[in-house]
Amino acid sequence: MIRDVIFLFLGLVLLWTPRSWLRLGKPEATRTKKKKASGGPNRDRMPDDHSLWAGEEFSRRRNWLDFGRALSGGTAVYYTLPTLIQMWINVPGVHIEQVVMMTQAVILLAGVAIQMIRVEERLTLFPPVFYICGLALPVIGIKAGLIAFAAIWAINIILPNPGVFLTAYAGGVVILSIMVGRGTQPAIVMAALAAFPPLVSVLFRRRLAQYRKRTKIVVR
């Protein structure tokens, strides 16, 4: 039991640590007022282009850190909670499986909310895309999660913004979880996690901002 509690605690630390706390170093200084996007040597992002660029997103180390800690933290939650809840709530008539699923869903949803909401000068909503994709592996299964990750990035070129990206991903994980994953209930949980940022964005009437490398402008 002590080992399970330790693993659960470490998993919660990984899941609930805000992405902004992982920021290292100072803003990069540049002498120009125009910043090139990292999607390619001659590519500039147009003002009305809110799509996710695969090259840009895949080159960010913190995206992969989000993916890894979501995968590790989610796995810890999924493998320790059933044992712990069965020990703590051993009451006849209580459906332990439902309690476990609800508790896991709440923990993961809290993690998505923590990664999504940032309050600095003002409230900003970010789409934790890699974090959510990392959660899919322990929730719907490794095979279904990897296929969903590959598939959503394969069709990303036609998706106009992160909200549509996550909505399409939510639909995809439902199909894959039922077909090659862990079934209907995990599919519903994962779809809810993926659809949560776009839903909050609509309710608050705020567009999901994208992570950008901090750049300090120096004019001389």
pLDDT band at 212 (very low <50, low <70, confident <90, very high): low
CB atoms within 10 A of CB 109: 15
Please report how the helices 162-180 and 129-140 are oriented relative to each other, as an axis angle in degrees rounded to 10.
10
Phi first, then psi, for residue 217 (nearest 5°) are -85, 125
Residue 29, both tokens: 């200084």
Q: What tens digit of pLDDT does each residue of 4-54 get?
A: 999 999 999 999 999 888 865 444 443 444 444 444 443 566 656 678 888
More confident residue, 23 or 153: 153
In 32-41, which positions are buried (b, 16+ CB within 10 angstroms) versus exposed (e)?
eeeeebbeee
At 113, the amino acid letter reads A
pLDDT band at 184 (very low <50, low <70, confident <90, very high): very high
pLDDT of residue 122: 80
At 64, the amino acid letter reads W
pLDDT band at 142 (very low <50, low <70, confident <90, very high): very high
DSSP symbol at 60? -
pLDDT of residue 51: 84
More confident residue, 44 or 193: 193
Q: What tens digit of pLDDT does each residue of 111-122 get?
A: 999 999 988 778
Per DSSP, the three-state class of 117 is strand
Mean of per-residue pLDDT scores for the chain: 84
Report the alpha-carbon distance of residue 167 to residue 114 in Å, rounded.
Answer: 19
**Distances in whole angstroms, Cα of residue 190 to Cα of each of 34, 82, 141, 145, 193:** 39, 18, 11, 10, 5
Where residue 198 falls (left for φ over 0; alpha for ψ -120 to 50; beta otherwise) is alpha
3-state helix, strand, coil in the chain (%, to 5): 65, 5, 30
Query: Torsion angle of alpha carbons 59, 62, 66, 71, nearest 10°?
Result: 70
Per DSSP, what are the bridge partners of residue 30? 217
Phi first, then psi, for residue 178 (nearest 5°) are -70, -40
Query: If you average pLDDT over residues 179-192, what whole number do you get?
Result: 96
Query: If you average pLDDT over residues 77-99, what whole number do you get?
Result: 83
Per DSSP, the three-state class of 46 is coil
pLDDT of residue 118: 85
